[in-house]
């Protein structure tokens, strides 16, 4: 299995454009998968630099309904007219940030024929399965960090029912792909206990030297309790990653834009 980071907050070299967002290209023995599309079309330019032909992608998975994961979706659809786009049935809900700014999907995409709306669980191919986590038990409470959803005209803390995770099983190896892990990375790893987990941990607002230290230390204790190799990125935060890395050592790696890993 090959994973290429087409978009991430940091770039591995000046040849790649970086932005606050995430896009991963995953190639298994049977499938070419695009997981998220960053916040703009920049991921597509990076894809070309990494010899990824977006028109040959077999399927697209959207991790959740935020702009920094979906903003390049139109650019993908302009190049690929056949790949199904798997997204949560709640992906087009009204999502806002702490300043009450809309951070959701482009509503103009809502009627696109390639969209496939997923409920809580869907097997999309041999060794490919999507899970929402809705109804799964929480080992730790989640913190929305000011992110909200508007339902029936009422602004509520986001419960992230629009988030979904891609579990890839190839041979005896189980690889879980997560976007931002808004439901809590500790909860998510406890649900799946994969061999490899790739995704953001959403720790970027935690101060490793201040009030966030206890939360990060608790996460280290939990995450290192699993025989899982972690590749993190995007919303984890660089300072937060470095703090975790100092304790997790080789069990934790960073995946920057332009990098490629083989699993």
Neighbours of 140 (CB within 10 A): 15
Residue-level pLDDT, tens digit, the chain, 263 residues: 999 999 999 999 999 999 999 999 999 999 999 999 999 999 999 999 999 999 999 999 999 999 999 999 999 999 999 999 999 999 999 999 988 899 999 999 999 999 999 999 999 999 999 999 999 999 999 999 999 999 999 999 999 999 999 999 999 999 999 999 999 999 999 999 999 999 999 999 999 999 999 999 999 999 999 999 999 999 999 999 999 999 999 999 999 999 999 99
Positive or negative, the CA dihedral 216, 221, 222, 228 is positive
DSSP state of 236: G
Are the CB atoms for 25 and 6 separated by under 8 Å?
yes
Domains within the chain, CATH numbers bracketed: 2-262 (3.60.15.10)
Cα of 185 vs its chain's centroid, Å = 11
Neighbours of 48 (CB within 10 A): 11
pTM of the model: 0.97
Q: Please report the DSSP string for 59-107 in residue order.
A: EEE--SS-HHHHTTHHHHHHH-SS--EEEETTTTSEEE-TT--B-S--G
């Amino acid at each position: 299995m090959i994973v290429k980071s087409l978009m991430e907050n940091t770039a591995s070299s000046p040849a790649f454009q970086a932005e606050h967002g995430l896009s991963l290209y995953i190639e298994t023995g049977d499938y070419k998968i695009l997981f998220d599309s960053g916040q703009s079309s920049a991921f597509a330019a990076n894809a070309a630099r990494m010899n990824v032909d977006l028109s040959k992608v077999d399927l697209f998975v959207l991790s959740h309904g935020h702009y920094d994961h979906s903003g390049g979706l139109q650019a993908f659809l302009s190049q690929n007219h056949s790949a199904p786009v798997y997204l949560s049935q709640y992906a087009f809900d009204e999502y806002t940030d702490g300043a009450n700014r809309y951070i959701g999907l482009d509503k103009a995409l809502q009627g696109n024929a390639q969209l496939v709306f997923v409920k809580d669980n869907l097997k999309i191919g041999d060794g490919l399965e999507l899970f929402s986590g809705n109804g799964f038990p929480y080992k730790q409470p989640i913190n929305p960090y000011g992110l909200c959803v508007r339902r029936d005209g009422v602004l509520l803390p986001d419960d992230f029912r629009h988030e979904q995770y891609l579990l890839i099983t190839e041979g005896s190896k189980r690889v879980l792909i997560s976007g931002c892990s808004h439901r809590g990375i500790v909860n998510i790893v406890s649900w799946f206990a994969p061999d490899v987990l790739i995704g953001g941990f959403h720790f970027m607002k935690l101060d490793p030297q201040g009030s966030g230290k206890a939360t990060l230390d608790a996460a280290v204790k939990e995450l290192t309790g699993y025989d899982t190799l972690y590749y993190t990125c995007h919303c984890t935060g660089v300072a937060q990653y470095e703090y975790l890395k100092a304790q997790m050592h080789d069990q934790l790696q960073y995946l920057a834009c332009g990098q490629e890993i083989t699993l």
